[in-house]
């Protein structure tokens, strides 16, 4: 609606009809403006409500995603809880896997065995027997723990000092300043060879306490999977032994098969030899019917032939040198006979022997003359020396008389 002052100013000087027309125009324009303003207000209100809805939907979307994530986490937690329940199923009264606990009959152990069991522990990943602390070895051998560690190191045993162990709650050695622990086999071998015991009886008692403590500690173990690993290892060992025995049996059977095949080949060869020998007439049918006797006869004949052949070779060896000598003689004396050459050599030998006799006689005469000459020379040399000794003795006698 327009103010009356505006209408009066706009219609001044106009007729009534024109004035009414102007008023209608103004009225219609104001009505439209009012409708547009109303629509604009409604549109703004709708826009505001739409924006609120968008914001609300975004908030709801975030809340929904958060709820879905929470549900996924809850499902994961439920699954892990279900696995834990399945893992712990049937073990509610038993110790947790890997942690030693109390079992029925644990109180009936001897005091020494129970105390020794506290000196044992499991290491991470152990599937063998428990580890033995140097504290327990020192207690069993009545030595200082430091000396025990030194002896184990000299022996070549690996002494670990870490504390990542699963032990009994009452174990006090684990909180000591210096600790050590070794494998069960190495600890038992050291006890068996140690010279710290007074006699063998004390050694056997210590070994018995160690074995009983290990069995008691293993009985307190709550890790059923370790038992399964040990059982699987024993089963694999038995399978390995069975496989080795089967391999030996297979090798023995292979050898028997080869022997049987060889015997079969020998039988076939013997059969073919029998047929061939019978066809060629090498043996009679009677001889072939008794092969053992025929074999003995053939062996005797073969031995006789070998002996004769050896004797023939020996005679050939004996005659080979004289034959060579005769060949050399024929080359040196082609026109003479051995008898003639032998007669000439005998005649020459007789001549030489005669000449040798004459020379021996002359040599004997010369040797006799030489002996006589040597004797004369020795007598001639001995006479002046005797005279000199006689003069010297006379001078010594006269000198002694003058002194007197």
To which residue do tokens 């013997």 refer?
270
Q: What is the chain's pLDDT, residue by residue, as a tens digit (404 residues)? A: 444 544 454 445 555 666 678 777 888 887 888 888 888 888 888 888 888 888 888 888 889 898 999 999 999 898 888 877 766 654 544 554 555 555 554 445 676 788 888 888 888 777 778 888 889 888 888 888 888 888 888 888 888 888 888 888 888 888 888 888 888 888 888 888 888 888 888 888 888 888 888 888 887 776 667 777 777 878 888 999 999 999 999 999 999 999 999 888 887 877 777 777 777 777 777 777 787 888 888 889 889 999 998 888 888 877 777 777 778 777 887 777 878 878 888 888 888 888 888 888 888 888 888 888 888 888 888 876 666 665 555 555 554 444 34
Q: Is residue 143 within 8 Å of 134, Cβ to Cβ?
A: no
Is the pTM for the entire model greater than 0.85?
no
What φ, ψ does residue 375 adopt, rounded to 5°? -65, -40
Q: Identify the pLDDT of residue 105.
A: 45
- Apex 352 CA angle, 346 and 355, nearest 5: 145
Task: Give the closest residue to 218 by CA, choosing from 127, 108, 87, 89.
Answer: 127
Bridge partners, 167 (sequence order): 121
Q: Identify the pLDDT of residue 240.
A: 92
To which residue do tokens 């005469």 refer?
365
Report how far residue 94's alpha carbon sits from residue 96's, in angstroms, rounded to the nearest whole number: 7
Q: Identify the pLDDT of residue 404.
A: 43
What φ, ψ does residue 361 adopt, rounded to 5°? -65, -45
Token pair recorded at residue 100: 């030693």
Report how far residue 173's alpha carbon sits from residue 180's, in angstroms, rounded to the nearest whole number: 9
In this structure, the number of other CB atoms found within 10 A of the CB of residue 216 comes to 19
Alpha helices in 281-337 (DSSP H): 285-289, 291-332
Q: Is residue 222 within 8 Å of 100, Cβ to Cβ?
A: yes
C-alpha of 402 from chain center: 110
Q: Identify the pLDDT of residue 101.
A: 55
Report how far residue 118's alpha carbon sits from residue 173's, in angstroms, rounded to the nearest whole number: 9
Q: Identify the pLDDT of residue 241.
A: 92
Angle, in degrees to the nearest 10, between helices 184-193 and 134-141:
20
Q: Identify the pLDDT of residue 394.
A: 54
């Amino acid at each position: 609606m327009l103010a009356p002052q505006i209408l009066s100013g706009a219609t001044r000087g106009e007729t009534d009809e024109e004035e009414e027309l102007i008023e209608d125009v103004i009225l219609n324009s104001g009505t439209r403006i009012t409708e547009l303003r109303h629509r604009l207000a409604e549109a703004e209100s709708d826009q505001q409500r739409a924006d609120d809805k968008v914001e609300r939907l975004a908030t709801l979307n975030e809340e929904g995603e958060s709820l879905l994530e929470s549900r996924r986490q809850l499902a994961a937690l439920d699954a892990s809880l279900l696995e834990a329940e399945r893992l712990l199923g049937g073990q509610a009264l038993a110790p947790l896997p890997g942690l030693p606990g109390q079992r029925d009959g644990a109180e009936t152990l001897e005091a020494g065995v129970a105390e020794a069991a506290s000196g044992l522990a499991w290491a991470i990943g152990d599937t063998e027997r428990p580890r033995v602390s140097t504290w327990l070895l020192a207690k069993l051998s009545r030595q200082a723990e430091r000396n025990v560690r030194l002896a184990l190191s000299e022996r070549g045993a690996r002494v670990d000092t870490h504390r990542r162990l699963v032990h009994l709650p009452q174990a006090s050695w684990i909180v000591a300043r210096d600790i050590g622990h070794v494998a069960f086999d190495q600890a038992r071998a050291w006890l068996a060879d140690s010279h710290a015991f007074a006699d063998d009886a004390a050694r056997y008692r210590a070994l018995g306490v160690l074995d009983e403590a290990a069995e008691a500690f293993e009985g307190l173990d709550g890790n059923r999977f370790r038992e399964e690993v040990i059982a699987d290892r024993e089963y694999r060992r038995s399978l390995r032994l069975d496989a080795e025995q089967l391999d030996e049996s297979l090798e023995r059977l292979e050898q028997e098969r080869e022997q049987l095949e060889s015997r079969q080949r020998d039988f076939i060869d013997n059969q073919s030899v029998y047929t061939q020998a019978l066809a060629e007439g090498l043996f009679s049918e009677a001889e072939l019917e008794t092969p053992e006797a025929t074999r003995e006869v053939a062996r005797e004949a073969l031995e006789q032939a070998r002996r004769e052949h050896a004797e023939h070779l020996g005679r050939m060896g004996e005659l080979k040198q004289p034959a060579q000598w005769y060949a050399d003689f024929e080359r040196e004396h082609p026109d003479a006979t051995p008898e003639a050459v032998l007669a000439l050599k005998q005649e020459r030998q007789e001549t030489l022997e005669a000449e040798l006799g004459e020379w021996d006689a002359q040599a004997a005469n010369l040797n006799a003359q030489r002996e006589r000459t040597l004797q004369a020379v020795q007598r001639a040399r001995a006479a002046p020396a005797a005279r000199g000794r006689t003069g010297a003795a006379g001078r010594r006698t006269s000198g002694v008389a003058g002194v007197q």
